Chain A
Amino acid sequence: MQSVFTGPVFVVRDNIDTDQIIPAQYLNLVPTIPDEYEKLGAYAFAGLPESANPERYVKEGQLDSEYPIVVAGRNFGCGSSREHAPIALGSAGCKVVLAESFARIFFRNSVATGELYPCESPDRLCDAFKTGDVVTVDLDAGTVTAKSTGKVYKFKPLGDVRPVVDAGGLFNYARNTGMIPK
């Protein structure tokens, strides 16, 4: 299981709600239909106002993002229960979201789908990084390292959540561990 991720970060601020992650008009797409799953990725973060985020997470006409790591402030994923939110990010190629804190349902949906690792950082990483900075996230060590400066930040261990995401989500985990029949 991959535990180290290196790449450029996409930085957003506090209170990024699920409408900004995947605007409601795209909820007509059904995540379990494969080509609609792909399309959801193309719209990841499409609801971020350009005024606050001039860079696009997914470039026009693309299905995938060049940013495998998202860095956010407080209360990331607040708002609706739409599972389309972690799915849109995962479909676009996001592996890790590092936030100061998460809204409950988004966190749970990230784990249940196994789409991404939601990591909580006590440091305000959205102030420490800017979009495009290259970092290395090490899930085993619980560290994120800035490539340019070598500075290391710690984040909270994922604990029981880690093996669920490793397995690819709730159902795979439940089968692997005998909670439900294979």
Chain B
Amino acid sequence: MTLTETILARAAGKARVQAGDNVWVQADILMTHDVCGPGTIGVFKREFGQTAKVWDPNKVVIIPDHYIFTADSKSNRNVDILRDFVREQGIGYFYDVIDDPSGHWVFDPSRGSLKRQHGAHYAGVCHTALTQKGHTRPGEVLFGTDSHTCMAGAFNEFATGIGNTDAGFVMGTGKLLLKVPETMHFRLEGKLQPGVMAKDIILHCIGEIGFDGATYRAMQFDGPGVANLSMDDRMTIANMAIEAGGKNGIFEFDAQTQAYVDYRCKLNGTKAAYEPVARDKDEKFVYELVVDLGKLEPTVACHPNPGQRKLAKELGSIKLDRAYVGSCTGGKTSDFLEFAAVLRGRRVVIDTFGVPATPEIVHDLQSARWGDKTVWQVLTEAGVQMTENAGCAACLGGPVDTFGRMNAPLKCISATNRNFPGRMGHKDSQVFLASPATVAASALTGKITDPREFLPKG
């Protein structure tokens, strides 16, 4: 069985499953957030009753992150709906925006977008928060009401996005009926060259198969090249399985996975026991691709979808209005370090926004020092508008007052994961997806630029 089949067989209590089987799967974690949580709670109460209890309050993780730093009153209310439900149900893991468990969240636009407005428990973008707070474990099944839930596949688990109705069902029963997906095999070999990042790997793969090329399928990433990829890199890649239509993306387990997961579970006091899954001899794949990481070059997905693959060096004629680094896939500490390494000592020439995925990443960047400056200072001195209000922000547009949102038909290069028409705001705006290094180089020139032009020579 493939990695995905092995996990689903275990979660269904069966010795074997194969692609196409419909099985009832036991969930280990159900995650929801402020955009889909209120609707999921609404379904749960409508269907199971006003006094119903969730199947396991310690397996429901609620992470407000999408529309937080906005004056939109409905969005603020939605965070309050989550808080009320958490209190009523005794939910074990709720990363609230405010510290007062009986308070109300109201964003104060008069204080601006850059200075921190959240409390001590807030954890930022749900997918990144799940990993940092010790909720991603090898061999488990994670359902989330967000399509990028597949990011947790980096940790050798089955993780997939579901809708509110399915999530309401999981909330009440802990189970969901799933069709076992066919698996596509991506064997990674070698090592990335300087200036080339994990984002380039996944944009390359999506370009190969087309952005509906993995519809209804699992994308399995393995091979000797994986050892050269950090957990952050693997998250970037697994995150974008959905951008090829995939049901999930999944990596093999190794010592790096173990070190990350053990540290995070211990740090947060979450469940520490887990059972990874390994490859076996009779894996059946419907597709095979070998990727030589050493041959990849900085890659861009052009407007209007993640499958429009080009090399950065081919796109020098495309002039840009702004640049953006952030989101689950592109707003991690390592992403900002690559971004800053290109920008260091230089100055951006277009509006450039930086939104760390989580408060922990804000802290990392404000405490890491390069010489006499923090990385945060390096970025702000280069002209990047850095916000301390970690979250999804303009990756998905959001309410019109969202930080970094495109409210006019602009062209943006972005380290995020999706570039359909209107994704980052105005429906006639255009988004070009690229690595943080490519975004940095492009911010310095105002046109799409290969970051290797800015690498130290020799």
Residues on A close to B: CB < 8 A? 15, 17, 19-20, 23-25, 27-33, 47-49, 51, 74-75, 78-84, 101, 103-105, 108-109, 112-113, 169-171, 174, 180
Q: Is the CB of A105 within 8 A of B161?
A: yes
In the complex, the number of residue pairs spanning A and B with C-beta atoms less than 8 Å apart equals: 142
Q: Which residues of B contact A78 (CB under 8 A)?
A: 211-212, 245, 305, 420
Q: Which residues of A contact B247 (CB under 8 A)?
A: 104
In the bound assembly, the distance between CA atoms of A30 and B212 in angstroms comes to: 29
Known contacts A19-B397, A81-B146, A81-B147; decide if A112 and B163 are in contact (CB<8 Å).
Answer: yes
Q: Is the CB of A170 within 8 A of B78?
A: no
- In the complex, the 6 A-B pairs of residues with the closest C-beta atoms, listed nearest first: A32-B42, A83-B163, A109-B163, A81-B161, A17-B420, A112-B165
Q: Which residues of A contact B163 (CB under 8 A)?
A: 81-83, 105, 108-109, 112-113
Q: Which residues of B contact A28 (CB under 8 A)?
A: 35, 67, 72, 74-75, 78, 399
Q: Is the CB of A109 within 8 A of B81?
A: no
Complex interface: stretch among B93-101, B271-279, B328-336, B422-430:
B422-430
Q: Which residues of A contact B72 (CB under 8 A)?
A: 28
Minimal beta-carbon separation of B209 from chain A (angstroms) = 13
Q: Which residues of B contact A75 (CB under 8 A)?
A: 211-212, 215, 245
Q: Does B199 contact A (CB under 8 A)?
A: no
In the bound assembly, the distance between CA atoms of A169 and B163 in angstroms comes to: 13
Q: Which residues of A contact B46 (CB under 8 A)?
A: 32
Minimal beta-carbon separation of A77 from chain B (angstroms) = 10
In the bound assembly, the distance between CA atoms of A167 and B418 in angstroms comes to: 34
Q: Is the interface of B mostly helix, strand, loop or mixed?
A: loop
User: Could you say which of A17, A32, A49 has the most chain B C-beta atoms within 10 Å of its C-beta?
Assistant: A32
Q: Does B47 contact A (CB under 8 A)?
A: yes
Q: Does B396 contact A (CB under 8 A)?
A: yes
In the bound assembly, the distance between CA atoms of A150 and B168 in angstroms comes to: 44
Q: Is the CB of A24 within 8 A of B212?
A: no
Q: Is the CB of B169 within 8 A of A171?
A: yes
Q: Is the CB of A30 within 8 A of B39?
A: yes
Known contacts A49-B427, A81-B161; decide if A27 and B35 are in contact (CB<8 Å).
Answer: yes
Jot down 15 A-B pairs with beta carbons below 8 A, ordered by A: A19-B396, A19-B397, A20-B420, A27-B66, A30-B42, A47-B421, A47-B422, A78-B211, A81-B162, A83-B36, A103-B245, A105-B147, A105-B163, A112-B166, A174-B169
Minimal beta-carbon separation of A142 from chain B (angstroms) = 21
Q: Is the CB of A24 within 8 A of B396?
A: yes
User: Could you say which of A29, A81, A82, A113 has the most chain B C-beta atoms within 10 Å of its C-beta?
Assistant: A81
Q: Per a CB cutoff under 8 Å, which of A30, A32, A79 touches B420?
A: A79
Q: Does B139 contact A (CB under 8 A)?
A: no
Q: Does B385 contact A (CB under 8 A)?
A: no
Q: Does B145 contact A (CB under 8 A)?
A: yes
Q: Is the CB of B39 within 8 A of A24?
A: no
In the bound assembly, the distance between CA atoms of A101 and B418 in angstroms comes to: 20
Known contacts A51-B428, A79-B147, A109-B165; decide if A32 and B43 are in contact (CB<8 Å).
Answer: yes
Q: Which residues of B contact A80 (CB under 8 A)?
A: 146-147, 161, 396, 418
